[in-house]
Structure 1
Amino acid sequence: MNDTSTETLSVVVEREIPFPPEKLWRALTQPHLIEEWLMKNDFKSVVGHRFNLRGEWGGVLDCEVLAIEPHRMLSYTWDFAHDDAAYALKSVVTFTLTPTSSGTHLRMEQSGFRKTQKQACGGARAGWQKFFANLEQVVARID
């Protein structure tokens, strides 16, 4: 019999963005640009760097850069500590950029939601759609 208690859920959001990966990469890795589309932060493009994302709602996410492949892939932890275990989250966010004839295919996967966190998973899916809409506007403004 398999132990399903360790199985997790993922949120995947994909979007075609009409700009080259290099331009998108800047918005994913430069702190002042990350703040414009995601949250206030002290991000650095260094594997092992620990940073925080601070939401307008007052919450703080503890993050650590796990992997960087410039213009191709960025991965970091996305942990939210909460007194109520139902709301606490340990997850990993991975952005994958694939050049296309018209720009970039951006794929974001947030993995690590427990099966009991279906509501959080749905909230993340909606949240990432909004973040991506903001991201696209930020990228459009970059020179």
Structure 2
Amino acid sequence: MRYRSDPKSVRQILAFSLTIAASLVLLLVPVYSTAIISNDGPDQVTASTLLENVGPYVFVLVLIPVALTGLPLLVRGPARMPASVATTVALTIFTLLASATIGWFYVPALAAALASLTTPAQKPWHQPSAS
């Protein structure tokens, strides 16, 4: 696969990269903390990751936005724009539904996906043929 340098593709690649970054943060960085408090103050404070709290099921949850932002990069030709619109709408719905938990982590990726939709497609550059 050759590198796509048009602005629309760059924004889609950015959305995909931000989604992967958010998913890795959710899986690897401790986002939960638990404190056991007694009358004298906190006895024990522990931090845990989403993977430790939810279990392997969390892989399904974080792979949904990764798949949604990656799909438009795989589609070529005239089907690319409808695929981009459909996956951006689905990512918007996912982000809103999951906003109480992990959805906010995907807002930057959603912004990049929306930017890729509003960016005009760049016409391929052709050299004039010498006749």
Instruction: Point out which structure has higher relative CO (alpha carbons under 8 A, 6+ apart).
Output: 2
- Which structure has more helix as a fraction of its residues? 2
Structure 1 or 2: more strand by fraction = 1
Compare CA radii of gyration and give the structure with the larger one.
Answer: 2
